[in-house]
Structure 1
Amino acid sequence: MARGARKKSQSITIETVARLAGVSAMTVSNVLNNSKPVREATREAVMRAVAELNYTPNLAAKSLASADTTRIGLLISRDEFSFISSVLGGAVEATTATGAQLLLQRLDVQTPAAILAAVDSLVASGAHAIVLPGLYAGLILSAIKDDRVPVPVVAASPGKALEGVTSVRIDDEEAAREMTAYLIGLGHRRLGFLRAVPTHLIHHSRYDGFVRALADAGLPLDHSLVITSALSFDGGMEAAAAFLDRDDRPTAIFASNDDTASAIVAMAHKRGIRVPEDLSVAGFDDSPLAKRMWPRLTTVRQPIAEIARRATELAVALARSGANGTETAPQCLEHQIVARETTARPASTCRRPPDCQVDID
């Protein structure tokens, strides 16, 4: 199976990526090697094509083909394209700077068995360390702690600290608390929360931050205004319909990522609900999508590309040091609340903003 997967990956060329992205092969090379500046939209198109084709960017580089090349495996998924695009950018930057090779494995089913099979495939293909973005490390945490993964593992944005696993992340719970406090400070008292699926660690951390902020403000938790959804645009559209079809719909909705937040804004437009006049919407990640949609999205900024870059650098260092996968000190980066055009005070309120750091971008 691993040999077949490798053959499939190697049959994809830089020209194949260029055709799918609608750019030249030179542009693809510039993006992957960070050799020349390109437009953000072009970079996203290239990275999306890389993910779709499961292309291994550095295989064509002869200088990386030697037996002593450090190879870093990275799992990616079809969902959360905005998030994965930034992860790919950070990982490519790190491997390019360190002279390592990046091996990609696309994951279509997010179960522990599927993740372990994908990790095994990467190891069979020569990966000396693995970077697991998002929920993957949490789903196979027991396997990692039991040394069933034979190479070092680094988690990028896992949602919370993972005992026994090196990670690079932000404080998701505190970030969610601050965003909820910001919405409450604007005067919102009826808040909806779009919660990640239970398999994801942020199902707990971001929800816990939301609940803490309500409690701090003396507001009750209305469980009917908490809807669980896949972190995809389609999942967000379904959740948005459930929120907005209510006669007593919330005045503000906080979504667990930007893709689902953008879906809520889209559904509000479809229903003739004005954003932010009739409904405030906030997301999480500050992906490139947040600045491109209209109105521009208020969101929690976590430096996804920087997290992925540092996680990949740690993976390279662990692989080259011969570490057996033992945990190193976790890195927790700063987050920011970024206020844009999708949030405003409810029409009948006049309250001062909350006591937390907010950037207007």
Structure 2
Amino acid sequence: MSSRPSTRRSTSSVTMHTVAERAGVSPMSVSNVINGRRVSLRTREAVMQAIVDLNYKPNIAARALASASSIRIGLLYNSPESAFVSALLVGAFDAATRFGAHLMIQRVEEGRALGDTLRDMVDSGANAIILPAPYCEAVSGTGLVEKLGVPLVGLCSGSALSDMPSVRVDDVAAAREMTSYLIGLGHRRIGFVRGAHNHIISRTRFEGYCIALREHGLEYSDDLVVDGDLTFDSGLAATESLLDLADSPTAIFASNDDMAAAVVSVAHRRDLRVPDQLSVAGFDDSPISRKIWPTLTTVRQPIVDMTAIAVETVIGTLGKAYDDALLSTKCVDYALIIRGSTGAPRLR
């Protein structure tokens, strides 16, 4: 994603032309992205980054729905630099446009209670909310879902949620399959970088890794497992720790692509050839996986499609009481994407 500093402005001072200038594209390109028309991936990513940086909140449904009955969907996000957030916003904008809904995006402020942020969204007119992980996991089971009085849908939760529908992949199965793939290449010492402690995926993806080791008769080693927080910087620190081991791993599987990209970066800095001397795998199939060299082997979690399903799901729950059908988890198919960052282990 872009490394330009995030210059926040008040929403009222930001126009489509402001976004276009920030993204380095034409206002027409911005309009095309907002209205779900076909544009290049690079243009879409640049526009979405500018929208987040400038806190631009376009009224997607202004022309189509002028009445008080307009659907207003709230969406929370965290780091604007995250590749996951970029894909999340693309999917949300596309789906909201298709349904003629107004999308209200809100960044979660550090140190502010999540419940206060959600209540503010409802007070501002949101009549449905999409909660990506870890926020859906933090809210589930607290009683807040019922108190808010609007439908909520969890996105990319590490497991099923008891009081709201969710859209996710089977993280355990995906991590198990990726670890088995690395073992099949001949790797026997496989490092694993966990995610942030407040994400259930930190447990479920780690569980899949451990299951694969047991199935293939490999001994688990605490030394080969390091905690990260799903950021690039945490991936750097985790990789340094793993590669400093006397018997360092021949492959490293990181819990997301941002951290996996950091593994590749450290390997280059240490003059380790990827994949000849170190294989690297990630999770998500976010844009960064296709931009680094060598390109990254990863688990494809179709975040854009999953977000669109979440939008459709939350709209479908409007005006309905939650029952077992509405609370169901929708598991989306994942896929292993094999690229240039993995191969059979060789002598260093």
Q: CA deviation at 1:144?
A: 4.6
Q: The residue matched to 2:197 in structure 1 has which SS?
A: coil
CA distance in 2, matches of 1:193, 1:228: 8
Greater mean alpha carbon deviation, residues 198-207 or residues 240-249: 240-249
Q: 1:103, 1:264 → 2: CA distance?
A: 35
TM-score, with structure 2 as normaliser: 0.92
- Which residue identity is paired with 1:88? L
Partner of 2:44: 43
Change (3 A) 1:336 1:60: closer
**Paired position in structure 1 for 2:316:** 317
In structure 2, what is the Cα distance between the partners aligned to 1:74 and 1:54? 13
Of structures 1 and 2, the one with the larger relative CO (CA 8 A, separation 6+) is: 1
Change (3 A) 1:210 1:306: same
- Give, in whole Å, the separation in 1 of the partners of 2:82 and 2:214: 33
**Aligned mates of 2:322, 2:277 — CA distance in 1:** 51
Counterpart in the other structure of 1:245: 244
Q: Does the 8 Å contact 1:75/1:106 carry over to 2?
A: yes
* Aligned position for 1:227: 226
Alpha-carbon distance in 2 for matches of 1:168, 1:205: 15
> Retained in 1: the 8 A contact 2:145–2:152?
no
Please state whether the residue corresponding to 1:63 is helix, strand or coil. coil
Q: What is the one-letter code of the residue matched to 2:222?
A: H
Q: What are the ranges of 5 or more consecutive residues in structure 1 without an aligned counterpart?
A: 1-6, 349-361
Query: What is aligned with 1:64?
Result: 65
- In structure 2, runs of 5+ residues without a counterpart are 1-8
Tell me if structure 2 keeps the 8 A contact 1:79–1:232.
no
Task: Kindly indicate whether the alpha-carbon contact (under 8 Å) linking 1:80 and 1:232 is maintained by their aligned counterparts in 2.
Answer: no
Change in CA separation of 1:89 and 1:229 when aligned onto 2, cut-off 3 Å? same
Mapping 1:134-283, distance limit 5 Å: 134-144=133-143, 147-283=146-282
In terms of fraction of residues, the more helix-rich structure is 1
- Matching of residues 284-295 of structure 1 within 5 Å: 284-295=283-294
Q: Which residue of 2 aligns with 1:13?
A: 15
Q: Structure 1 vs Structure 2: percent identity of aligned residues? A: 46
CA distance in 2, matches of 1:108, 1:229: 21
The residue type equivalent to 1:286 in the other structure is D
Q: Answer yes or no: is the 8 Å Cα contact 1:299–1:339 preserved in 2.
A: yes
Name the aligned partner's letter for residue 189 of structure 1: R
Measure, in 2, the Cα distance between the counterparts of 1:61 and 1:13.
15
Shift of 1:39: 1.7
Determine if the alignment matches structure 1 residue 77 to structure 2 residue 74. Answer: no
Normalising by structure 1, report the TM-score.
0.89
Per-residue deviation, residues 200-238 of structure 1 (Å, max 9, x unmatched): 010111010011011111111111211111111112112
Deviation at 1:62, TM superposition (A): 3.5
